[in-house]
Amino acid sequence: MSDEVKKFGPHGVAIAEVIPVPAMRKMMADHMIKSHLEAARVTILEEIPADGLVKLRSELVEDLEKTDGVKISYTHLFIKALAQALRQHMIINSTLIENEIQVLEDINMGIAIALPDGNLIAPVIHNADKKNIVEIAKRALELQEKAKTGKLILDDVKRGTFTLTNIGMLPESRWTTPIINQSQCGILATGAIRKVPVVRDDQIVIGTVVSVSFTFDHRIVNGLPAALFINTLSKLLEDPSQLELGI
């Protein structure tokens, strides 16, 4: 491209490429900026021991892939743990409408999924707390496939009350500050499950941990209810024998 036909950005640097913003990305950007401006966002960062979670998943993969034809992922276990923790802390499963905090009866878990074009979408597992781990896994896999093939319908993305985003596919991912899905109280991001040095019985040994980032709307809850919710979630993930798997 010659100097005569080059275009320059507002900062005086030549533009190498112009990428039109797709309608979906524009809508998502508008939605996120509205949430960013309106919610009083606070993020709690936590690192949770995950040796028990790794062991449980290994056992479930071995058992359920044979009997039910489904491979349980950590995301499926996070969904189950979150739904169970939300049932114990329903104030987190709420929304702020004008001057009312409305605690919602159903626990509908949105799962952030990256689309092939780079956009994100959060299809919803409705009544996640009432589904067993196999039902959660099958529905999550179905939604993931529908998202990738462009077959999601409106009901697949409606009525979410909380959102999970798993960035653990990046090996060294730890914490982030996820933006709340508008009208919800909170969102949880999970990082990679990693081996790290830990202290047990005054000895340094190798343990497994998972980092979580919980962003919540301080207009709805303050730090104490948020911390209690994360404490419950931490206990469920650290000792997954407490998970109500329904199998």
Contact by Cβ (8 Å): 21, 15: no
> Rounded to an integer, what is the distance from CA 44 to the centroid of its chain?
14
Q: How far apart, in Å, are the Cα atoms of 172 and each of 50, 52, 177, 211, 216?
A: 15, 20, 16, 10, 24
Q: What is the mean pLDDT of each run of 10 residues along the chain (247 residues)?
A: 70 83 70 76 95 96 90 97 98 95 97 82 96 97 93 93 88 83 94 92 95 96 96 97 95
CA dihedral 180→181→186→187, nearest 10 degrees, is -80
In sequence order, what are the residues at sequence separation of 6 or more whose Cβ sits closer than 8 angstroms to the Cβ of residue 242? Answer: 235, 236
- Helix (H), strand (E), coil (C) string for 143-156: HHHHHHCCCCCHHH
Residue whose entry in the numeric block shows the structure tokens 């979580």: 212
CA 70 to CA 56: how far, in whole Å? 15
Report pLDDT for 25: 67
